[in-house]
Amino acid sequence: MGKFVVRGGRRLEGVLRVHGAKNAALPIMAASVLAASPVTLLGVPKLRDVDVMIEVLQSLGASVAWQDDALTIDPRGIHQYVIPQELMLKMRASIFVVGPLLARLGHAVAMQPGGCSIGDRPIDIHIYGFQQLGAKVSETDEGTRLDAEKLRPNTIHLSYPSVGATENLMMAASLIAGETRIRNAAMEPEIVDLAQFLEKMGAVVRGAGTPDIRILGREVLHGVTHTVIPDRIEAATFILATAATGGHLTLENCIVEHLPGLTGRLRELGVEIRVDDGDRVEVWAPERYRTVPVSLHTGPYPGFATDMQAQFMAFLLKVPGVHIISERVFENRLGHARELRRMGAQIVADQRVALIYGGRPLHAAEVRALDLRAGAALVIAGLMCDGETVIQDREVIERGYEDLDGRLRALGADIEKQ
């Protein structure tokens, strides 16, 4: 495994165009399985997780090719419905192809993804939903098997607004004639993007972005061209890195409405944020942060995104005062507190709640990226302090950030890959 070496203490300054969203691209790539003709996707970020989804689609029989920045997926050759175990192990989001496979071929087999560093992450809500659509579930040597001669539309009430389960069920429902209703659905912007994609293919999707989604499916969906939405988590990461280094950044292709909870809090702390032309956002960090205690908890959209929590914690180390973060989406997603402590951060944390004593100096250290966003938090902390911070396991970070080091260098940071 490689590392990032960061020599901090420099302000970030410049202009950056936000890439397409990983978490929108992955389900949309999976939804291409539903089409009867090729799909072309624009704005798909070139990331490790996207490479794994390409491998998943190819293993099922699809032809997938990049042509410059356009990704074309031809799903006509898909006849295979067992998702290879090693790909499930590489990326949990491989589960997204289950709904489309079940709807298209009547079968899908997937190993249950194991626990990961941020929690158990079961798929019971996905399975329950497929059962409500008429699938039979059995356990086999290859994994959990779902079979359905013919799926039927139904009303499904989710016990929790799971993003992945909502997406998986929307995809399956789009190929079922009749109206399926998903209640207590997730409301993330990536759900709305997927809905738009499914609508272009021929389904009718109403209510995406609310807890009550109705999908009028079709027996045949056709291939289309679609551009994925900008990555709100990438945008948030760069905004927080700028705020943490006293910098000045202009982001292009940034939808600020997708960052509820973040911009308001940063403004309260004295960060200036100006939105021009809809998708151009300018951020100035103040000379000095006021002492304002911050209290936040993560939650399903429009709550504060769990995927921004680690980076926000690193930023809070800059803000004088005692702050509290409560992680309510995943049961074990504060591991970065321990790594930040190696850099001198004063943080007291259990599995769900962290107390952060901000405004005290950090020092460089050798730390490890435990998960993608935890790794991004360490990069931010490294940018904040003098000396050479070494972040081990950079590949974990590269699962979700395209050319992070190159983009930070373009903004004046001293960071390199080793």
Q: Which residues are catalytic?
A: 116
Phi, psi at 204, each rounded to 5°: -110, 120
Stretch that binds ligand UD1, among 114-122, 210-218, 237-245, 345-353 (CB under 6 A): 114-122
Stretch that binds ligand UD1, among 66-74, 124-132, 147-155, 409-417 (CB under 6 A): 124-132
Look up tokens 């304002």; give the residue: 292
Phi, psi at 324, each rounded to 5°: -130, 130
Amino acid present at 20: G
Q: List Cβ neighbours of 229 (8 Å cut-off, separation of 6 or more).
A: 20, 21, 24, 43, 189, 190, 192, 193, 255, 258
Look up tokens 């944390």; give the residue: 349
If one asks whether residue 262 binds ligand UD1 (CB under 6 A), the answer comes out as: no
If one asks whether residue 399 binds ligand UD1 (CB under 6 A), the answer comes out as: no
Q: Using the minimum distance from each CB to ligand UD1, give the nearer residue, 74 or 371.
A: 371
Q: Which residues pair with 248 in a beta bridge?
A: 13, 284
Q: Do the strands 39-42 and 225-227 form a parallel or antiparallel pair, or are they unpaired?
A: parallel
* Of 346, 381, 393, 398, residue with least CA distance to 8: 381
Stretch that binds ligand UD1, among 97-105, 140-148, 159-167, 335-343 (CB under 6 A): 159-167
Task: Tell how far CA 69 is from the center of its chain.
Answer: 20
If one asks whether residue 244 binds ligand UD1 (CB under 6 A), the answer comes out as: no
Q: Using the minimum distance from each CB to ligand UD1, give the nearer residue, 129 or 153.
A: 129
Q: How many residues does the chain have?
A: 418
The single residue among 11, 121, 181, 206 that binds ligand UD1, judged by CB under 6 A, is 121
Which helix (H) or strand (E) element contains residue 206?
A: strand 204-206
Q: Using the minimum distance from each CB to ligand UD1, give the nearer residue, 319 or 377.
A: 377
E-state strands within 105-197: 107-110, 136-140, 143-147, 155-157, 178-183
The single residue among 8, 164, 246, 247 that binds ligand UD1, judged by CB under 6 A, is 164
Q: List Cβ neighbours of 259 (8 Å cut-off, separation of 6 or more).
A: 232, 235, 236, 239
The single residue among 5, 33, 111, 165 that binds ligand UD1, judged by CB under 6 A, is 165
d(CA 40, CA 74): 9
Q: Do the strands 225-227 and 272-276 form a parallel or antiparallel pair, or are they unpaired?
A: unpaired
If one asks whether residue 162 binds ligand UD1 (CB under 6 A), the answer comes out as: yes
If one asks whether residue 124 binds ligand UD1 (CB under 6 A), the answer comes out as: yes
By CB under 6 A, the residues from 287 to 326 that bind ligand UD1 are 306-307
Q: Work out how close the CB of 286 gets to ligand UD1 at its nearest, in angstroms, rounded to a whole number.
A: 30
Q: Using the minimum distance from each CB to ligand UD1, give the nearer residue, 23 or 132.
A: 23
Binding track, positions 169-208, relative to ligand UD1; x by CB under 6 A:
-----------------x----------------------
Q: Using the minimum distance from each CB to ligand UD1, give the nearer residue, 115 or 278.
A: 115
Q: Which residues of the chain form contacts with ligand UD1 (CB under 6 A)?
A: 23, 26, 93, 119-126, 160, 162-165, 186, 306-307, 329-330
